[in-house]
Structure 1
Amino acid sequence: MGASEPQVRPPPLRYGVLAKILYFTASFIGGYDQQMVGICMRAFEFTLGFSQQQMAIMVAVESIALLGCCLLWGYFTDNFDCKHVLSTGMFLAGTTTVLLGVVSNFYLILVLRFLHGFAMGCLDPVLQKIVSSTVTRSGHASTFGIIMAMYCAGRFMCAIITSAMSDRVLLGLPGWRISYVSFGLVCLMLAVAVFFGMIAKRRNKEGTDYDAVAEYEHRPFCEVVPQAFKKVFMKRTPILLIASIFTGEAPFCAFTYMVIYLQYMGVPYVGAGIATAVTLVGGVIGGVAGGLVVAAIERRFYNYGLLSCGNFLLLIRLTACLFLFLGPPPLGYLRWYHYTELLILGASFVNIGSVDRPIMTHVMRKNLQGTAWSITRSVSGVASSLVYYPLAGYLADRVFGYVRSTEVFENMSKEFMGNNARALKLTMLCLMVTGTVGNIACYIAIFFTYPRDKVVEPAAAQEPEVTSAGEV
C-alpha cells in the first residue's frame, strides 16, 4: 500500500521556457516597482511639495494594500490558475501606474497607491504557489534565492534608469512622470503575455502533456481561509515566523530613505542611484550564490541548517550597517569601503527568500501554501507598515529635526543639508539595528520549535519529494 501511494498523486506541474521567463520577469517587475518610490522621493518633494510625513503616509497606504490584500490573492492562487491571477494583477498594476504618472492631487494619489498596492500583492502568493508545486523541498532555498535575485535585479535596473530620469525634464514633463507611464505600459504588456503564454502542464503515463487548469478545485473562500488560519496559528514556528518577518521589514523601510540621504550628503543624484544599485547587485549575488549555499547546508544539517544560515546572515548585516552609518560619512562621494558595505548589506537580505519561505514550506501542507504564506505576509506586513513607515516619518521630522524644502540642492546651505542628512542617517540606523536584532531573536526562538513542527507535520513526511524520474 505504501509503495502505491505516490501513484495517487498527480504528476508534477511543468512549465515551458516561455512560462518560466514570464514568471521570473514578474519577479523582476515587482522589484522594479518597489524601488521607484524611494528613487522618486526627492522628485515628489520638489515637484509636488510633499513632506516626509506625507510621503511616509503614501508609502504606508500602498504597503498596507499590498500586504493586507495578499490574503485574497493567496486564496486565488490555491484555487485558480496562476496565469489568470497573475495577468489580472499585472493589468491592474499597469493601469494604476500609468494614472500615478499623470495625477498630482495627494488624496487621489493615495487612492491610486492603494489600488496599485492591491494589484502588486498578487506576486508573492503566485510565486510561492509555483515553487511549492514544481520544485522539491530540498530545492526551495535555491529557487527562492533565484527569485529574490530577479527581484533585486529589477530594483537594480530601476535605480539606474529612474534615477537618471526622475530629476530631468523630458518632453516638457518631469522625468518621474515619464518613468511611471512607461513602466505602467510594460506591466500591461506583461499581463497580456502571461495570459496567453504562461500555461501549466502535467505529463500523463503515456508521456503526453495536458493542460492542468481543469484540476483546480475552486474551494469556497469561507472554507479555505479559516482552515489556513487554523493551520498557521496552531504551531509556534509560523507564529514566530510572522514576528521574524515583521522585524525584518524594518531595514527595507530604512532603505527607502537611502537615496535622499546620500543626496543631502552631497552625493550627485546619479551617484546615489548607483550606490543603491550596488546594494542591489549584492542582493542579486546573494540571491543566486547565497541561495545555493543555504540549500546545500540545509541538506547537510536538516533541522538547523536554515536557521544557522539565517542568523549568520543577520550578524553580517548588523556589522555592515554599523560600519556604514557610524564610520566615515560619504561626503560628496562614496569611497570603496562604502560600496563594500552596501554590497554586503544587499547580499545579507537573501535570508528573506532562502530562509523564511522554505521554513514555511516545511511546516505547512502543500495545498495551503499560497493562502498560508499570504496570511503570514499579511499579518506581519500590515503590522510593519502601520508601525515602521509612520515611525520613520515621525523620527525624521519630529525627533531628529528633518526640515522639508523645495529648494534644489545647489541652493541649500551646508548647515541645512547636514542637519537633514543627520536626521535621515539616525532614522535609518535606528530602524535597521532594532529590526535586525529583533530578527535574530526570532530566529533563535525558532531553533526550539522548528524541528518539532517539522516532525509532527504529516504533510512533511507524506508528500513526495519526486519531481523528476530519477529523484527519490
Structure 2
Amino acid sequence: MKMKAETLTLVLVNLAGIMERADESVLPAVYKEVGAALHTDPTGLGSLTLFRSIVQSSCYPLAAYLALRHNRAHVIALGAFLWAAATFLVAFSSTFFQVAVSRALNGVGLALVAPAIQSLVADSTDDRNRGMAFGWLQLTSNFGSLIGGLFSVMIAPTTVFGVPGWRISFHIVGIISVIVGTLVYLFANDPHFPNNDTNANNQVPNRTFWSEVKNLVQEAKSVSKISSFQIIVAQGVTGSFPWSALSFAPMWLELTGFSHGKTAFLMALFVVAGSIGGLFGGKMGDILSTRLPNSGRIILAQISSGLAIPLAAILLLGLPNNPSSAIPHGLVLIIMGLCISWNAPATNNPIFAEIVPERSRTSVYAMDRSFESVLSSFAPPAVGILAQHVYGFKPIPEGSSESQEILTDRENAASLAKSLYTAIGIPMALCCLIYSFLYRTYPRDRERARMEALIESEMQHMESDGLAMDREIQSEELFIGDYDGDVADDDDENILLYRQLTFSNLGT
C-alpha cells in the first residue's frame, strides 16, 4: 500500500530531527576521550559547544528567510548536508582549534533545520492536537540523542584499524546524515509548495533581496513586540540552560566510577524517560488547554520546571558518589526525565503557534531558538569554570598510581556534581517564576492573533471575489469587442440584455 505524501513527509522530517539531535549529542558523549586526545580541560570542552551555539544562533535569521522563500523540505535537506560535512571535519581534526572551527561550522547546518521542522509540524496541526504532535517530535528527537550518545559512548574506548572510536562515531553520524538529507530532498513535500513547485502561487511575490531582508526585519520586530513571546524566550533562556549543562552528565557518571556501558545505559534511561515524558506532557497540555484554555498549559510548565529542582538535588547531591549505586541513579534519572520534559511540547511550542499568524510561525521558532541557544550555550563553559575554580576540579597528576587516579576521579565527580546542580537549580527556579507572567499576556495575545487571522482571511476572500469580478468583466469586454456592427437590431437587443444579466449576476 502506497504511503500518503503527508505521512511520508512527517516520517522523513522526524528522521531529520533524529539525526539533528544525534549529531548534537555525539561530542558531549565523548568529552572524556576528546579531552584526553586534545589535552583539553572541562572549560575547553564546554567552549566547543559554545562556539557551535553562537554560530547556530546567528544563522537562525537565515533559516527563517530560507524557510519563507523556499521549500522547507529542501531547506531541511540542505541543513543535513551542511552539518554532515562539518561532522566529517571534526572526525579528521587533530587539534583543538580544528575541532572548534568544525563545530562552529556545524552550527550553520543545525540552524537551518529546527525552525523548518517546527513550523511544518505547527502547520499540520490545530490547537486540539498540537501539543501531542510536538510531543512525538520531541520523542523522536530524543531517540536521536539516545542513538548518538549511546553509540558514541559504547564505541569510544575501541579502535578500528588504528582509528580511535570517538572519530569513528563522527564518521558514521555524518554518513547517515547525508542519506537522510537525500531522502528528505527527494521525497518530502512542503504543503506550501504542492508537488515540489518552487514557484507556488501562495508564496510571497518575487522581490529584491534587500526588500526581502527589510520584510524579514519588519516581521521580526512585530514578533519581538509580542509580550508572550518575550516571556517564553526569557524563561527559555533560563530553562534551556540546565539542559545544556547536562551535556556534562556522561562525564560526571564516568568520573563517579561507572563503566562506559553503564554510563551509556543510565543516559539511555534518562533520554527514554524524557521522550515519554514529553509525549505525556504534550497530551496533558492538549487536555488542559480545552478545560483551562487561559492557564492549563502554563500550570503544566510550572509543575515541570519546579520538579527539576528537588529531583536534581537528589541525583547530584543526595546519592552515593560511587559506582555501586547504579539502581538508585537509574531510578532517579527515570523520574527526572519523566517530569522535567513537559515545557516545550506542552507549553512553549503550542503557544508560539497560537500567538502569531501562520505566515510568521517559522520566524517565531527561529527567533526563539536564536535567543535561547546563544545564552544557554554559556552553560557548558560555566559548568567547567565552576567545577575548576569554585568546586575544586583538578586534573590527574602525571605518574599517579591507580588508587590515586580513582580517588582524584571521585573528588572531581563531586566537584562536577556541585557545579551541575548550580547550573540546574537556580535557572529552573527563575524559569518557573517567569512562566507566571503568561497568565496575564497569553489570553490577550492569542485573541489578537485570532482576530488578525480572521481579518486576513476576509481580505483574501474579498481579493478573490474581486479577481472573479474582474475576470467576468474582461470576458464581457471580449464579447462586446467581437461585435462588428453588421448584425440585425434584434441582435443589439440581445447584447444589451446579456450585459444587463451579467451585471445583475455580479451584484448578487
TM-score (normalised: structure 2): 0.83
After superposition, the Cα gap between the structure-2 partners of 1:462 and 1:302, relative to the gap in structure 1 and judged at 3 Å, is farther
Asked whether the equivalents of residues 200 and 212 of structure 1 are also in contact (C-alpha less than 8 Å), the reply is no
1:359 aligns with 2:344: no
1:279 aligns with 2:279: no
SS across alignment from 2:323: coil
SS across alignment from 2:92: coil
Please show how residues 239-250 of structure 1 align to structure 2 within 5 Å.
239-250=230-241
Report the equivalent of 2:246. Answer: 255
1:50 aligns with 2:73: no
Report the equivalent of 1:3. Answer: none
* Structure with max Cα Rg: 2
Asked whether the equivalents of residues 250 and 388 of structure 1 are also in contact (C-alpha less than 8 Å), the reply is yes
Q: CA RMSD in A?
A: 2.2
Please show how residues 16-35 of structure 1 align to structure 2 within 5 Å.
16-35=6-25
After superposition, the Cα gap between the structure-2 partners of 1:201 and 1:425, relative to the gap in structure 1 and judged at 3 Å, is closer
SS across alignment from 1:267: coil
Asked whether the equivalents of residues 78 and 129 of structure 1 are also in contact (C-alpha less than 8 Å), the reply is no
Asked whether the equivalents of residues 44 and 381 of structure 2 are also in contact (C-alpha less than 8 Å), the reply is no
Asked whether the equivalents of residues 119 and 365 of structure 2 are also in contact (C-alpha less than 8 Å), the reply is no
Range that drifts further, 38-47 or 126-135: 126-135
What letter corresponds to residue 285 of structure 2 in structure 1? V
Asked whether the equivalents of residues 42 and 381 of structure 2 are also in contact (C-alpha less than 8 Å), the reply is no
What letter corresponds to residue 219 of structure 2 in structure 1? A
Report the equivalent of 2:221. Answer: 230
1:62 aligns with 2:47: no
State the distance in 1 between where 2:98 and 2:245 align.
Answer: 26
What letter corresponds to residue 38 of structure 1 in structure 2? P
% identity of equivalent residues: 21
Shift of 1:330: 4.6
5+ unaligned residues in a row in structure 2: which ranges? 458-508
SS across alignment from 1:101: helix
Shift of 1:126: 0.8
1:214 aligns with 2:214: no
Please show how residues 163-178 of structure 1 align to structure 2 within 5 Å.
163-178=153-168
What letter corresponds to residue 449 of structure 1 in structure 2? T
Shift of 1:280: 0.3
Shift of 1:326: 2.6
What letter corresponds to residue 277 of structure 2 in structure 1? G
Please show how residues 28-427 of structure 1 align to structure 2 within 5 Å.
28-201=18-191, 210-211=195-196, 213-215=198-200, 216-217=203-204, 220-347=211-338, 348-385=340-377, 387-405=378-396, 412-427=404-419
State the distance in 1 between where 2:133 and 2:242 align.
Answer: 23
What letter corresponds to residue 394 of structure 1 in structure 2? I
After superposition, the Cα gap between the structure-2 partners of 1:139 and 1:78, relative to the gap in structure 1 and judged at 3 Å, is farther
After superposition, the Cα gap between the structure-2 partners of 1:100 and 1:358, relative to the gap in structure 1 and judged at 3 Å, is same
CA deviation map 1:4-24 (0-9, x unaligned): xxxxxxxxxx84333222101
SS across alignment from 2:395: coil
Asked whether the equivalents of residues 308 and 425 of structure 2 are also in contact (C-alpha less than 8 Å), the reply is no
Asked whether the equivalents of residues 254 and 427 of structure 1 are also in contact (C-alpha less than 8 Å), the reply is no
Report the equivalent of 1:467. Answer: none
SS across alignment from 1:19: helix
State the distance in 1 between where 2:403 and 2:57 align.
Answer: 40
Asked whether the equivalents of residues 166 and 174 of structure 1 are also in contact (C-alpha less than 8 Å), the reply is yes
TM-score (normalised: structure 1): 0.89
Shift of 1:411: 6.3
5+ unaligned residues in a row in structure 1: which ranges? 1-13, 204-208, 465-472
State the distance in 2 between where 1:124 and 1:333 align.
Answer: 40
After superposition, the Cα gap between the structure-2 partners of 1:223 and 1:395, relative to the gap in structure 1 and judged at 3 Å, is same
Aligned residues: 445
Greater relative contact order (Cα < 8 A, sep 6+) = 1
CA deviation map 1:45-99 (0-9, x unaligned): 1222111121111110011122221221122112210122111111111111112
SS across alignment from 1:349: coil
State the distance in 1 between where 2:120 and 2:380 align.
Answer: 31
What letter corresponds to residue 242 of structure 1 in structure 2? V
State the distance in 1 between where 2:174 and 2:180 align.
Answer: 10
Range that drifts further, 453-462 or 48-57: 453-462
State the distance in 2 between where 1:189 and 1:213 align.
Answer: 23
State the distance in 1 between where 2:25 and 2:395 align.
Answer: 22
State the distance in 1 between where 2:290 and 2:6 align.
Answer: 28
Asked whether the equivalents of residues 27 and 151 of structure 1 are also in contact (C-alpha less than 8 Å), the reply is yes
CA deviation map 1:197-236 (0-9, x unaligned): 1123589xxxxx7555432326643233222222222222
After superposition, the Cα gap between the structure-2 partners of 1:300 and 1:410, relative to the gap in structure 1 and judged at 3 Å, is farther
SS across alignment from 2:149: helix
Asked whether the equivalents of residues 139 and 275 of structure 2 are also in contact (C-alpha less than 8 Å), the reply is yes
